[in-house]
């Protein structure tokens, strides 16, 4: 499901072809927004990869400081009003720079990009947290009735892993009863304030330790970043 953020009300909507148009009230402002249901299609030609942000718009900064070597981005330009304080926004440039806009940036009305981005289009959007929970792990048995889970007995999990393809940064979190919560990040390459368009999205296997009973833990994946995330498989090892 989609979570459109805090203090957001859907006033109405409807489809035209493959595009869903929504009338959305955000605080005291009302916007007409759209969701295009297409596969792996860039919304803007300047995107270094398919940028996964909501409310994406482009703007062109014009203020640059030779003294600090930074470009100023006016945060009232993207939507014609101040950015909402309870939501998270980010910037992606055509050369792959990603910067998360801080609460201090929103309060002062601008943010700064390292480098000269005068007269260069950049992408501004609302960051979304892509999150999912894996089902409880059981040993499976195949018989004449088909495949079913063995719920009797004790399954002690040791490790859990996911197979990913053409993906950026994501987290795997293990929540166990009576134990601290652990979160593991598949960094791939450093993302924050680094240029990533020349660094190919990665494919591989990401393994994390679990070390608890299968019924005593919850394993989730999440990514608050604008890079793609494609999980194509998962596995585990343990003692039964």
Confidence at residue 228, expressed as pLDDT on a 0 to 100 scale: 87
Which residue carries 């343990």 as its tokens? 238
Confidence at residue 77, expressed as pLDDT on a 0 to 100 scale: 86
Its pTM stands at 0.75
Residue numbers in the chain where pLDDT is lower than 70? 1-2, 39-40, 188-200
Query: Sign of the CA dihedral 65, 70, 71, 75?
Result: negative
- The string of DSSP codes covering the chain is -----TTEEEEEEEEETTEEEEEEEETTEEEEEEEE--SS--SSTT-SS----EEEEEE---EEETTTTEEEEETTTTTSSPPPTTS-EEEEETT-BEEEEPHHHHHHTEEEEES--TT--EEEEE---EEEEPPPP-EEEEETTEEEEE-SS--EEEEEEEEEEEE--EEEEEEETTS--EEEEE-SS--BTSB-TTSPPEEEEEEEEEEEEGGGEEEEEEE-SSS---EEEEEEEEE-
Residue 197 backbone dihedrals phi, psi, to 5 degrees: -70, -25
CB-count burial class (<10 Å; 0-12, 13-18, 19+) for 137: buried
Confidence at residue 197, expressed as pLDDT on a 0 to 100 scale: 43
Residues 54-80: tens digit of each pLDDT: 889 999 999 999 999 999 999 988 887
Confidence at residue 199, expressed as pLDDT on a 0 to 100 scale: 46
* Among 132, 133, 137, 161, residue whose Cα is nearest residue 213: 137
Give the span between the Cα atoms of 50 and 58, in whole angstroms. Answer: 14
Residues 179-218: tens digit of each pLDDT: 999 999 998 654 454 454 444 578 899 999 999 999 999 9
């Amino acid at each position: 499901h989609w979570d459109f953020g805090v203090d957001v009300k859907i006033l109405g909507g409807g489809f035209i072809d493959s595009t869903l148009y929504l009338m959305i009230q955000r605080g005291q402002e009302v916007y007409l927004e759209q969701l295009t249901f297409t596969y792996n299609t860039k919304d803007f030609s300047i995107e270094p990869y398919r940028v996964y942000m909501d409310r994406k718009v482009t703007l062109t900064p014009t203020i640059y400081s030779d003294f600090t070597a930074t470009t100023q981005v006016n945060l009232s330009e993207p939507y014609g009003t101040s950015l909402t304080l309870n939501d998270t926004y980010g910037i992606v440039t055509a050369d792959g720079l990603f910067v998360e806009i801080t609460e201090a940036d929103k309060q002062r009305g601008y943010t700064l990009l390292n480098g000269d981005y005068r007269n260069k289009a950049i992408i501004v959007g609302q960051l979304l947290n892509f999150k999912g929970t894996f089902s409880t792990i059981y040993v499976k048995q195949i018989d004449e009735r088909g495949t079913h889970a063995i719920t009797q007995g004790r399954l002690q999990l040791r490790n859990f892993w996911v197979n990913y393809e053409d993906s950026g940064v994501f987290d795997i979190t293990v929540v166990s009863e009576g134990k601290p919560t652990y979160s593991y990040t598949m960094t791939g390459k450093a993302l924050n304030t680094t240029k990533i368009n020349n660094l190919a999205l990665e494919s591989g296997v990401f393994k994390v330790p679990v070390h608890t009973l299968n019924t005593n833990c919850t394993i989730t994946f999440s990514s608050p970043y604008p890079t793609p995330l494609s999980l194509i498989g998962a596995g585990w090892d343990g003692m039964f």
